[in-house]
Structure 1
């Protein structure tokens, strides 16, 4: 009996990417031809429409060739959830995750697949973004974020690593078991383990439109990751509280000795105001931080599905091309 042909599933989430549909479909067609020629893989494309408001799904359906399916979610759940929706439908021997905005190129995709196929000891090959051209402030903030989130962990979240990666089928199936409602994929990839290898790359310019990630979204996403994977902020505030209490005790002894031995009048209003402002600020910061953790715990405790599928557009390999 002939050996079954290895299968590669390509998972690509998108949101309002109608303008890039034709070019991305062409890239997928070229990628399918190359992996078939080089590795003998059979390719299936799985695109996730994350509640888009344009006609992106229809345009992709018209442009895609070969075997594909487009999963349309009932609303915008976010890219992290859209990736999970794609992994849930992936059953291939290898799974490639890439974006539909054309910043993940054909050449880098082939490099990722080649690295994984040629090294049987590796389970995942991920693309790590080259940030040499980034501003000093942004690079320092990134280092601070990863230093904070990786503190006191048994695993490290690689810096500048995103969803652009290829993995073996068992890894993809393992990731679908992680049903976090508030998802931070960078942390989930690292938490799941397996043997990883990084490939440095420079993202291509967007073919059309602008990035969906505003500064506000990036800040919220960072807080999501910290609340999901790090207890360090709570420890920092706890230690700051202890240090403040110790400073208050020392200051109290100082005032006591000055009054007893030197007859110096106790400063009233300024000292009281400083104490109220400092301690009140610490309390508010701690309450806000605890609120972030409580919100994450509350979200995870609700028995809601991670996402809802509106419908699925598909074409099998044996179906006739339009």
Structure 2
């Protein structure tokens, strides 16, 4: 009996990507052929429909070939959760996570797979966006974000690294054991540890559609990261409160000496309003920030399932033989 070949699972979440279905399916076919020829691995494709409102799932099911399955979630849970849903279905020796919008190229995917195959001491190879087209302001804000969130941590979240990565089966199983309801994958990938290596890449231009990430979504996502992996915001607000109190003490001492030794009249209403507005603003900011942390804690304590699967559509050949973890 012939020995079964190792399997590479390709996990790809999508949302309203009906227009790119044919092109992405063709890319997966090319990638499957290259992986089989160069690395001697079978490929199983796991797509996750994150509550699409178009006929993307139907178009993918018509365009995909070989061994594949489409996990359709009951609603839109967000990309972070959709990635987990795909990894939950992975049983292969390795798993490649990539987007279905064609911005993650086949060349970069093959380079990451080759790096992992050729180096048994490495557990994860992740793609790091070079941000060549990012504005100066956005790049500086990104540096500030990663600088703050990595402060006082036992691990570092790599800058500009997303879900585009290839992992060994043991890493996948470790990640799927982390059932955070409010997910921040960048942090979870870093927290899990293992031996990881970065590979710089430039995203391809979107062929169709537009990014689902607005500025407000990015701000909310950044706040999610802070509340999940950092106490720095609370410390910043606490430090601001201490500085405000110190400023109040200094100002009070100044007023006392001016009255006692120089007979200068104490300004009343303006100074009072400044103190009220400053301290009131600090208190409201602190309450809002604490509320964010409390909301995260409440979400986790409810112990709801991270996602709900509506159904799973599978190809005729389903999972290839030998799809066991390694």
The two structures have a TM-score, normalised by structure 1, of 0.97
Which residue in 1 is equivalent to 2:87? 87
Number of equivalenced pairs: 319
Equivalents in 1 of 2:82, 2:259: separation in Å?
67
For residue 207 of structure 2, give the secondary structure of its aligned residue in structure 1: coil
CA distances 1:45-64 after superposition (whole Å, capped 9, x unpaired) = 00000000100001000010
Answer 1 or 2: higher relative contact order, Cα 8 Å, separation at least 6.
Answer: 2
For structure 2, the residue ranges without an aligned partner over 5 or more in a row are 320-326
CA distances 1:82-138 after superposition (whole Å, capped 9, x unpaired) = 000000000000000000001111111111100100001100000000112311110
RMSD: 1.1
Which residue in 1 is equivalent to 2:121? 121
Does residue 60 of the first structure (1) align with residue 50 of the second (2)? no
Which residue in 1 is equivalent to 2:224? 224
- Asked if the contact 2:69–2:318 (Cα under 8 Å) also holds between the matched residues in 1, the reply is no
Equivalents in 1 of 2:39, 2:213: separation in Å?
35
Does residue 294 of the first structure (1) align with residue 303 of the second (2)? no
Equivalents in 1 of 2:3, 2:65: separation in Å?
25
Equivalents in 2 of 1:55, 1:69: separation in Å?
16
Equivalents in 1 of 2:311, 2:171: separation in Å?
26
Shift of 1:302: 0.7
CA distances 1:187-236 after superposition (whole Å, capped 9, x unpaired) = 00000000000110000011101111111111111111111111001001
Which residue in 2 is equivalent to 1:193? 193
Equivalents in 2 of 1:303, 1:109: separation in Å?
36
Which residue in 1 is equivalent to 2:96? 96
Which residue in 2 is equivalent to 1:240? 240
Shift of 1:254: 1.5
Equivalents in 1 of 2:76, 2:261: separation in Å?
69
Shift of 1:246: 1.2
Equivalents in 1 of 2:291, 2:112: separation in Å?
40
Equivalents in 1 of 2:309, 2:81: separation in Å?
12
- Asked if the contact 2:123–2:196 (Cα under 8 Å) also holds between the matched residues in 1, the reply is yes
Equivalents in 2 of 1:292, 1:115: separation in Å?
40
For structure 1, the residue ranges without an aligned partner over 5 or more in a row are none
Equivalents in 1 of 2:245, 2:318: separation in Å?
73
Which residue in 1 is equivalent to 2:278? 278
Does residue 33 of the first structure (1) align with residue 29 of the second (2)? no
